[in-house]
Amino acid sequence: AKHRIVIPCLGHFKEEYEKVSKLYMNNKIRTTKYTLLNFLPRNLFEQFHRVANLYFLFLVVLNWVPLVEAFQKEITMLPLIAVLTIIAVKDGLEDYSKYKMDKQINNLLTKVYSR
């Protein structure tokens, strides 16, 4: 059986702690889906998995073909951009509230048993 060694991150144990802690994952809770760098691409990727968004994207692309153009190009893009923006804002706010809750939970004081 594997045993895990817990070393306090205090003064003279600091070097030993840094050496041993690299072997294990941290136990921070992370329930967020996005980071600042991946929010836009990941959110768009998830939104275009919805059939309705793909349908509106198809209409936008189709309207850029001169033979099939039914409306002005900009007008067909408005519903898609509005829906994508509203959903992105909603997802961003939800993820930010998850981030704040994770930060609060990860910063709670805990009791550590020591003989």
For residue range 46-105, list pLDDT tens digits in order: 999 999 999 989 988 888 888 877 777 788 889 899 999 999 999 999 999 999 999 998
Does the pLDDT of residue 9 top 60, yes or no? no
Q: What is the pTM of this model?
A: 0.69
CA distance to 33, 34, 44, 88, per residue, from 93 (Å): 12, 11, 16, 9
Output the pLDDT for position 115: 67
C-alpha distances in Å from residue 53, one per residue of 7, 81, 82, 90: 52, 10, 11, 16
pLDDT single digits (tens) 28-51: 888 999 999 999 999 999 999 999
- 9 versus 43: the higher-pLDDT residue is 43
Q: Is residue 23's pLDDT more than 70?
A: yes
Residue 72 is predicted with a pLDDT of 79
Give the per-residue pLDDT at 40: 96
Question: What span, in angstroms and rounded, lies between the C-alpha atoms of 80 and 85?
Answer: 8
Please check the confidence at residue 110 and state whether its pLDDT lies above 90: no
Q: Where are the domains of the chain?
A: 31-107
Contact partners, residue 83, CB within 8 Å, separation at least 6: 53, 56
